[in-house]
Amino acid sequence: MMETQKQPTLIFMFGATGDLARRKLYPAFYQLYKKNQDFAVIGLARRPHTDESYRDLINQTLPKSSEDRSSFLDRFYYLPLDIERPENFSTLKELSDRLDGQYGLQGNRIFYLSLAPRFFGLAAKHLRNAGLTETSGWKHVIIEKPFGHDFASAKKLNNDLLQVFDEKEIYRIDHYLGKEMIQNIESLRFANPIFESVWNHRYISNVQITLSETLGVGERASYYDQTGALLDMVQNHIMQMIALTAMEPPSRFETEETRYEKVKVIQSIRHASAENIFNQVVRGQYTGGVLADGTKVPAYRDEEKIDKNSNTETFVAARFFIDNYRWSGVPFYIRTGKRMSAKSTEIVIQFKDNPKNPYFYHLNDAAPNLLVVHVQPDEGLSLKLNVKQFNETGNTMPITMKFCNNCANEGNTPDAYERLLADCLKGDSTNFTRWDEVAYSWSLMDSIVAAWSEKQLPLDHYEAGSMGPASADQLLARDGFHWWPLTTTV
């Protein structure tokens, strides 16, 4: 599964002063350093930092209890760099060659492009022209979403990168693939015959995936108003959760076999059409309201840097069908939105009811069996079963068997970015998305956007602090189902 073992590496951190680097990447680098990963980092951004002021910035991102701060921070260097000025890259070449020799990094390099996507190709071109991609070791490039805004733009971005890097060297990062319970879906299914034997249309009535946020758009307002919930969350995070939930067992648990099975799922999702779009997708936008903690929040259109007439969706619910034998006729319901009643990500597998039997009337009102994968805020599983009430009626009652990972091990579970950076350092691309996954996902999103544009799909409003518009409930009610309440704690 891995092309190399863990090796010393020089990391080029583009966007070094940005929000992602400060919130996620530097704490992840620190945890990897504590685990004896050997690396040096060159921070690159337009702001005029020195090595010392850059290290001060990083120091502020670390936990207060951090040990060995000085030896960790000494491995960070800074170079002001404007992506659009190729002459800056010759200075970068000199610094990288010096650090490679100083730390014995063997020519191994990671280029982390925490940049706007329009700069991916330009950065890659300048790196090549400056000789930075010609190295005696291996090289990987990590790119953050959004990877384009439709299939055509994604294809152009990909072609630009392929002028410099091979496909196997491109690591398209989706931090959801680094989350503990997302990575556990394969083990849950394939290591437990009790589940895999019933993981199909004969026994499962529907699958529900929820990714809800209580936050609004915040500092991402300008980007979000041009993007919306469908492209910001469904195209990447939710597609990956569907793929892992629905994939066939790979022939071998190796990188390409696993990725191939995920691709087949995304390729098999039925595309939207103008004829069925009203029964398949719901768009929503939040109005003003009160959150669960009592905080009053404004409507989306009243947020800073948002167009007062914006029709951007902050909520999407959809019903997908996977056109293969295993999942024939099983609806996959998804919903994601901002300013909802709870922050939660979970996957609910609802099993089919028993056939109604007049001789077992006391079983006819039994609740469905549910298997719930809790991704965040808690990480764990719950299995909902039916047992006889502990009295003389003979009626049934639901019980829940629960497991929570981070409840007992709080602070010991690696962060998603730490996991994925560790994978990239050792050359394991299993939990990164391959180009054909991206391509098929964008093709599906394009069909939805085209259909709702043609039919002018309405924008339904929902009150901030709720779980979305009523039309999202009707989406399931037409099939005889309903959304299961979120469990924010296991």
pLDDT tens, N- to C-terminus, the chain (490 residues): 444 456 899 999 999 999 999 999 999 999 999 999 999 999 999 999 999 999 999 999 998 876 778 999 999 999 999 999 898 899 999 999 999 999 999 999 999 999 988 899 999 999 999 999 999 999 999 998 889 899 999 999 999 999 999 999 999 999 999 999 999 999 999 999 999 999 999 999 999 999 999 999 988 888 899 999 999 999 999 999 999 999 999 988 888 999 999 999 999 999 999 999 999 999 999 999 999 899 999 999 999 999 999 999 999 999 999 999 999 999 999 999 999 999 999 999 999 987 776 655 556 677 899 999 999 998 999 999 988 888 877 778 888 999 988 776 555 567 899 999 999 999 999 999 999 999 999 999 999 999 999 999 999 999 999 999 999 999 999 999 999 998 766 5
The type of residue at 169 is E
Q: What is the distance between the alpha carbons of residues 160 and 311, in angstroms, rounded to a whole number?
A: 32
Spell 18-27 as b/e; 16+ CB within 10 A means b.
beebeebbbb
| pLDDT number for residue 417 | 95
Q: For residue 460, how many other CB atoms are within 10 A of its CB? A: 18
| pLDDT number for residue 412 | 58
| pLDDT number for residue 331 | 98
Enumerate residues 6+ apart whose C-beta is below 8 A from 137: 7, 105, 106, 107, 108, 109
Q: What is the distance between the alpha carbons of residues 185 and 487, in angstroms, rounded to a whole number?
A: 18
Task: Give CA 83 to chain center in angstroms.
Answer: 27
Strand partners, 350: 206, 370
CB 30 within 8 A of CB 72: yes
CB 288 within 8 A of CB 257: no
Joined tokens for residue 249: 């067992």
The closest alpha carbon to 331, from 248, 477, 470, 208, belongs to 208
| pLDDT number for residue 63 | 84
Enumerate residues 6+ apart whose C-beta is below 8 A from 219: 19
Decide if 362 is catalytic.
Answer: no
The closest alpha carbon to 488, from 372, 400, 384, belongs to 372
Strand partners, 411: none
Catalytic residue among 49, 175, 237, 374: 237
| pLDDT number for residue 357 | 63
Q: What is the distance between the alpha carbons of residues 109 and 124, in angstroms, rounded to a whole number?
A: 13
Rg (CA), the chain: 24
Phi and psi angles of residue 478, each rounded to the nearest 5 degrees, phi first: -60, -25
| pLDDT number for residue 363 | 61
